[in-house]
A and B are shown apart, each in its own frame.
Chain A
Amino acid sequence: MDNELTALGILFTEFYYWVTVVFMFLIHVGFCMYEVGATRQKNHMHTLMKNTMIIPLVTVTFYFFGWWIYFAFPNGPWIIGDLLAAPFATANSELMGSHLGGPPVQDALTADDTAFWAHINGVFWAAFLLFSWTAASIVSGAVIERIRSSAFWFLAILIGSVFWVIDASWGWHPDGWMVQKLGYHDAYASGVIHAVAGGFALGVLIPLGARIGKFDKDGNPRNIGPRNPWLVTVGLFLIYTGFWGFYAACNVPMIDIQDGEGILFSATNIYLGPTTLSAITLNFLMSLAGGMMAAYLVSKGDAFWTYSGGLAGIIGASAGNDLYHPIQSMFIAAVVVVIIYKLHFWVERRFKIDDAVGAVAVHGYAGFLGVVICGFMLWGYPASPNPDYATINPLGNFIGAVIMFLVLGFIPGFVFASILKAFGMLRVPEAVEIVGLDVSAAIAQEYEDAAMVEAEREVVLASYSSGEK
C-alpha cells in the first residue's frame, strides 16, 4: 500500500467482498429451508443435515485445495500451458492466515504478494467458497430422500471444491484458457456455477434412481410435491436475497479501467471488463421479473414453479447481465423459463429422472441456455480487456456451455456416483427409505415422550388424586 488511494482501494475491496459473503450465506439458509420444505416429514432431519454439513466439508476442502485450483489451472493445465504457480493460495501459504501485509517469510512470496493478498485473500476466498456451497447445495436438492449422506458429502466435495473450481479457472479467471481462446463470457455464472452443478446433479440422478413410488407401473410420474409450501416460499425468497450478494461478489468493485493517460475508476465484471452495480441491479431485477411472469403462466400459477422460475430467469440471463439491456434480460429470462419448464417434465417422463426440486432444470438447463444465448447476444464484444484474447461468439459460448454442463458436470457426477453405487454406498437400504430416514430418531422420541407422560402421570396420581393439592 504505497499511497492513500491504493490503501483505500484495497480496504474498500476487502470490506466489499466481506459484505457479499454475509449476503450469500442467506443462499444456504434458503436452500436448507427449501429442501426441508420439499421433503416428506419422515426425512426432514436427514435432509437438513445432508445440506447443513456441506458448510464444514466444502469449507475445509476448499481451503485445502479448491482455492489453489482456481489460480493454478487457468491453462488447463496442459491445454494451452502449464500449471501456474499460486503460492498465496496453497493451504500452507502464510497468506492463508492472519497477515498484516509486511514482508513475507516464505521464499515463494514477494513483498507485492503480501501487500495485496494480506487483505484480499481471505474475503475473496470466502466469496468463492460461498459459490462452492451453492454448487453443492444445488445437487443436494435433487437427490433428497434416498441418497446416503456419506455419498452425498463425497459428491458435494467433488462439485464444490474440485469441478466447479476447475471450470471457474477455465472460464471465469480473467486469463482462463476458455476466455483466451473461445471468447467465453459468463459474467454472473450461468454456466460456471449453475450449468455445471445442474449437469452434475443429472449425472448423479441416473445411477441413484427415483424414489420408491415416484413412478407408477406405467411409468407415469407422481407429484410428490412440496410438503411445507411456507418453508419453500421463505427458502426461495432467501435465495433471491442471497443472490444479490452473489451478483456483487462476481464483480471487482473498484479498479482503474483507463487504458492510457488519466484514471477512471469503475467496477468490473470478473474478467475485468467494465460494468456498474447499477447496470447489474437493473438486469437482475428485470430477469427475475421475466422469469416469474413466464413461470406463472406456463405453470398455471403454481407457486413452487413461479418462485423457481424467478431463479431460473436470473440464471438464464446471468451470463450477459453485465451488458444486456434490462428488457433484453426480461425476455431472455422468460424464454429460458418456458423451455426449462417443458424440458423438466419431458425428461422426467422420457427418462424417469426423479429430480425432487427441479434443480437440473432451474440450474442446469437454464444455465446452459443462458451461456448459449449470451454467445449470440454479445457476439463481437470483447471477452476481456486484453486485446489479444478472442471476442465473444456463439460457437465459443456453445462449446463453453457443453464443457460446463457435460464435461465438468454430468460426466464426473455420473462416473463418481456410479462408482459409489458399485460399492453399495450410494443409496440407503430400501427398508430405511420406506420407513423414513429419520425413523429411529422418531421412534426413540416416541419412547421418550411416552416416558415423560408416564412421569407426569405419576406426579398427578401422587399429588393431585390424593387431594394434597
Chain B
Amino acid sequence: MALGARSQSTAVTSERLRAPWFLVGVLAIVCAAAAGLLIGPADIEVSAVVLELIDRLPLLTADSGLSSIHANIIWEVRLPRVVLGALVGATLAISGASYQAVFRNPLADPYLLGAAAGAGLGATIAIVTGSGDGMGTFDTVPMLAFLGSLAAVALTYFLGYSSGVRRSPAALLLSGVAVASFLTAIQTFIQQRNVETIRQVYSWILGRLNTASWSEVSLLAPYALLASLVILFHRRTLDVMRLGDAEASSVGIRPQVVRLIVIIAASLGTAAAVSVSGLIAFVGLIVPHTVRLLAGSSNRIVLPLSVMFGAAFLMSVDLLGRTIASPAEVPIGVITAFCGAPFFVVVLRSSRRSLG
C-alpha cells in the first residue's frame, strides 16, 4: 500500500507555514523594529543609529559619533520600547488565537476569562493605595496587575467548571463574563472613591508602553516565551480541537486537558503582558483573524504568524501613538482600535477565505 502511494505522495500533505508567509512575517518585524528605532522626538541621524547598532555587534566596530545622551536614547529608551512592544503584541496575538481555537469561538480574545478586569482591579488597588506610582522599577502595579489577572482567570475556571453544565466551554465563557463584570464593578467603585488618582488609573487602563525599560522586558520575556512555546507545541492538537470535544476525543485527545493547558499558558502570557503594558485592546482579536483571512485557518499557520504579525503590529502602532501628536503620546490602546478596526474591515471585506 505504502509502496504504490509513495510515487504520487505529493498530493496529500499537511498544512504548514510556507516560506513566503514566513518571510513576509520576518520582513514586517524587521521594518517595524527599524522604524521604531529610527524615528523619535530626539533628532538622531539614521546613519548614526545604524552605526551605533553595528558597533554593538560582536567583532565589528563603528563610530556613530553620537553623544552619550543620544546613545542612551537608543539603548535605554527606543530599543527596550520596541522590544517590549514586540513581546506584548506577540503574546496578546497568540493568546487570542489560542483562545479562539480552544473555545471554537471567533469572538474569543485574551481578556475573555476576566484577565483584563482582574489586572485592572489589581493595578487600581496598587495605584490608589499609593504603593506604586506606575513609573518606578520596583513597582507594585505590574505585580498586582499580574496577580489580579491570574486570580480572575482562576476564579472563572473554578466557577465555570463547578457549574455542573456538563463541563461545556460555554459555561466557562459565561462565568468569564460574570467574573469580568463583577471585578470591573469593584474596580470602578475603588476608582470613583479615589478621584485624585483617576488620571493614573485611566492611563493604565488605556494601555501604554511609554514606561518601557529593560526591567519590564525581562519581566515579560520569560512568560511570553513560555506561553508562545506551549501554545505552538499544541498547534496540531488545536486543529484537532476544531472538530469539537466529542469528535476530538474520538480521535484520541483529551479536550478538557488541552483546553486547561492552553488556558494556563495563554493566561500567564496575557497576565504578564497586561502587567507591563496596561489593557491594550483588540490585538488578540484582529491579528489572528487577519492571518486567517490572508494565509489560511490551520493553527499551524495562524499561531506562528500571529506571533510575527502581532509583534510587528504593536511596534508600528506604538510608533504612531508616540509620533502623531508628538511630543504628547496618544494611548496605544486607542490607536490599536482606531487603526486596527478599519484595517480589519478592509481585510474582512476583501477576503474570500473563511474565519476558522
The answer to whether A binds B is no
Residues of B within 8 A of A (CB): none
